Structure 1
Amino acid sequence: MCIRVQGEYSMPAKTVLALAFAATTAAGMSGGAVAAFADDAVRAPGAVQATETASPMPSSPESPGASPSAGPSESFTAPDVTAEQAISKAMEKQQDSTIASAKLESEAGTETWQVETLTKDDKWHQVTVDATTGEVTEDKESSESKQSTAVKDAKIKATDAIAKATEQQPGTVKELEFKEKDSKGSWTVEVVDDQGMTHEVKVDAETGEATMQPAETPTMSPTESPATSPTP
């Protein structure tokens, strides 16, 4: 603890007591009087005041300003209508067509399957299937598509790819897409397991070989650094 002289400077309490002892000893005061004098000197208004500065406490994760911990990811609930059933409904609507992709989407609390088909005359269609009732709610022709027309020549069709993928990784399919790279076709299938984790399985469109893909890890920019715990 330090003694601060108002408007001037501060000194340790021990120094004040030592000075008081020296002054009162010279004056012939007793030990008790010395203590009383020193105490009065500390407490006397306009003379000196004792001040203490609290040491800063380490911040905790719960304190304001601390970074909140990441919460659990949103849970996945399997739809009433499976990917295979949605594909079947889309093919009933667009007969003799080829399935190129199927994706489960949610909007305003309504889940739908967006199924993309390619007709014999190379016209793309987007078929919307209600993921709860299985009803086809929309069928529209699409002038543009990111898919390749090579899907028509794939030996492994959409439902075959789903079967191969779920054999490799059991779970619920939430997305299926045909891709072509270097004149080689493959299916990318996203499967959600019983713990809610999403896995990506690649199925060769020629041989049907299913391969688990490594999980993607978020990349960090050069200016970012890993999060660190607060320093006590």
Structure 2
Amino acid sequence: MVKSTDGGVTFFNPIPMGNPVSPVKLINTNCNCTLCNQRAIVVTSSKQIRMNEFPQAAVGPDNTLYVVWNSFETTSYDVRLAFSTDAGVTWNVRDIATSSFNEFFPSVAVNALGAHVQYARFVDSLRFALFKRTFDPVTSTVSAETMLSTAIPASFPPDTAPTNFDSGVNPCYMGDYNQIIAGPGTTLYHGWSDGRNRSDGNNPDVFFIQS
């Protein structure tokens, strides 16, 4: 994490928030991803999801800083949350999702109830769903997992394929713009890329819910 106190003219030296992870190549080179030096989640030989890290940051009502990212450190992707109560000088890291399935595309929003982390997680070898867990900064605990994509079917297959519906989009692309946003009071807004209504396999829809 780097920060500026003069409107972006200068920045402090980077401060690490977690353990360094070495960049690696794709798990499966059959995915013709143009971003060739990063991993992809291989679902089938023709279905892969590229994995950009894309950390996201948010600030709580008490000025606590939060950052989420998906980390590949063992055999699958897990979601990490780092938080700082001293303006980013020091950081504490919590595991948000560490199941045996891949968790990915995390996003964070903060309100008076804590830091809410939204992420996608596979529920079996072929299908995934949208979930949320909340970190309580007072008790330093993480809530039980809540499924957000509860419409039937709650889980859905990836739409991405080596050749996408839109030729202008990088191959193996599956909505890494999934987002959670804090609304009025304790309201949360969730948006995500969802393939449950698609039969062609290359063009997901955008879904939205409020919680």
TM over 0.5: no
Relative to the length of structure 1, the TM-score reads 0.28
Relative to the length of structure 2, the TM-score reads 0.30
Relative contact order, CA 8 A, sep 6+: which one is greater? 2
Larger radius of gyration: 1
